[in-house]
Amino acid sequence: MKKAGFIGLGIMGKPMAANLRKNGVELAAFTRSGVPDELTQAGVLACGSPAEVAEKADVIFIMVPDTPDVERVLFGENGVAGKLRQGQIVVDMSSISPIATRDFAARVRAKGAEYLDAPVSGGEVGAKAASLTIMVGGPQATFDAVKPFFDMMGKNVSLIGEVGAGQICKVANQVIVAATIEAVGEALLLASKAGVDAEKVRKALMGGFASSRILEVHGERMTKRTFDPGFRIELHQKDLNLALSTAQALGVSLPNTATCQALFNACAAHGGNAWDHSGMVRALEYLADHEIGQQRK
């Protein structure tokens, strides 16, 4: 099996890297805060820069927050690009701009390496359980070469199209997730304000057509008031910015996405940047002057 590298060991990257190592992958890693002891104790090689990871790996995975972070990892000082060689594969699993992704891929290919964009869905729970949905853009042959690694991190792995298609798919995913969180929040808030136990409503709806993973997981977060991430609101804001800017460029109207972004903005204004994105319901609660679970006024 090819040697792998992993850059970015945050909420998502750390368990993803751990799953590669658990499956016997020889792994080199870098993160700005230092590779965690639990990974080095498991046999992961800690590196001092992205360039060092590139020197030691055939397939280089990147999992960082935003477009400028990916650019810095690839092309900044001591970046991956300075050490790329023929036959290597760069796999960006971050959620970033589809337009920038295509530019990054062209610059990497100019070095003789291949490039896949492979953003994920499933959050921290999916990363730990190796059950992520992985949406990939790039050539079929490159996808086939990396597929065994993807299977160690996810359960639903799909090649969507050429480079950038994975990012477009992820943007679409985030539009659906945001709108569904908003709908679940409205429904449970309505029930609670009417004096009905919102948790019992949630459980009842899980047996019907309204059932969803978001109702199951994030609905429970809303009723139990557990808003530790998870997936931070500030990251979902970033993804919806990508959706809205892409839509503007294409002349597409996304009115519900814009509403969800406004609700996230309201949460951020109340100090909620780092809340789990299910915390969107708090903006709805503020508008209703009612918190899910409290006694009706």
Catalytic (active-site) positions:
170
Residue 146, token pair as written in the block: 């990396």
What is the C-alpha to C-alpha distance for residues 75 and 69, in angstroms, rounded to an integer? 10
What is the C-alpha to C-alpha distance for residues 230 and 109, in angstroms, rounded to an integer? 34
Distances (CA, A) of 201 to 29, 174, 191, 280: 45, 25, 7, 19
What is the C-alpha to C-alpha distance for residues 54 and 111, in angstroms, rounded to an integer? 12
Which helix (H) or strand (E) segment holds residue 224: the answer is helix 213-224
Nearest to 105 by CA among 132, 78, 84: 84
What single-letter amino acid sits at 24?
A: G
Contacts for 45-52: CB closer than 8 Å, 24+ residues apart: 47/5, 49/78, 50/7, 50/74, 50/76, 50/78, 50/79, 50/80, 51/78, 51/79, 51/80, 51/82, 51/83, 52/28, 52/78, 52/83
- Which residue(s) pair with 6 in the sheet? 29, 61
- Which residue(s) pair with 89 in the sheet? 59, 114
Nearest to 282 by CA among 181, 176, 179: 181
